[in-house]
Amino acid sequence: MQTHNRNGDVSAYGLACGIPQTLTCATESGETWRFTLSHNGTTYDVHAGPECGPKEWAQFGRLRDARAFLRRILAKSDTGLVRGMFVTQNAA
pLDDT tens digit sequence for 1-57? 889 998 888 999 999 999 999 988 877 777 788 889 999 999 999 998 888 877 788
Query: Per the domain annotation, does 4 fall within a domain?
Result: yes
Query: Per the domain annotation, does 88 fall within a domain?
Result: yes
Domain count, the chain: 1
- pLDDT of res. 30: 77
Query: Per the domain annotation, does 16 fall within a domain?
Result: yes
- Domain that includes residue 26, residue range: 1-48+62-92
- pLDDT of res. 77: 45
Query: Per the domain annotation, does 73 fall within a domain?
Result: yes
- pLDDT of res. 76: 66
- pLDDT of res. 86: 42
Average the pLDDT over 73-81 and give the result.
60
From residue 31, alpha-carbon distances to 3, 24, 26, 34, 52 in Å are: 30, 10, 6, 10, 9
Query: Per the domain annotation, does 68 fall within a domain?
Result: yes
Query: Per the domain annotation, does 14 fall within a domain?
Result: yes
